[in-house]
Amino acid sequence: MVLVEKVQPDFSLDEYTELYINSLQESITDFVLLESNKTSLSGQTAHKIVYNNRLEGKIGQFSMDEGLISAEIWTIKNGKTFR
């Protein structure tokens, strides 16, 4: 799945990365950034993060409290983020 968001045309990859990581830290229980690196995606400069988080809740009658490791990568092109 690819999520596309509009951003200001002069919005840099570094600015988006800082805002996005901050939003994850505020919204995810037990967020721990494990890796944060520049990379490339379809020939564009991109950023990749790997982080630890916690999944809490219920599925049917079963309770969950599991640690997860997630990875995300994104780039900006023509005023849009692709994540």
| pTM confidence score | 0.81
- Write out pLDDT tens, residues 10-24: 899 999 999 999 999
Go through 13-43 and write b for each residue having 16 or more CB atoms within 10 A of its CB, e for each that does not. beebbeebbeebeeebeeeeeeeeeeeeeee
* Domain parsing of the chain, residue ranges: 4-82
pLDDT band at residue 29 using 50, 70 and 90 as cut-offs: confident
Give the CA angle between residues 19, 25, 57 to the nearest 5°.
Answer: 135
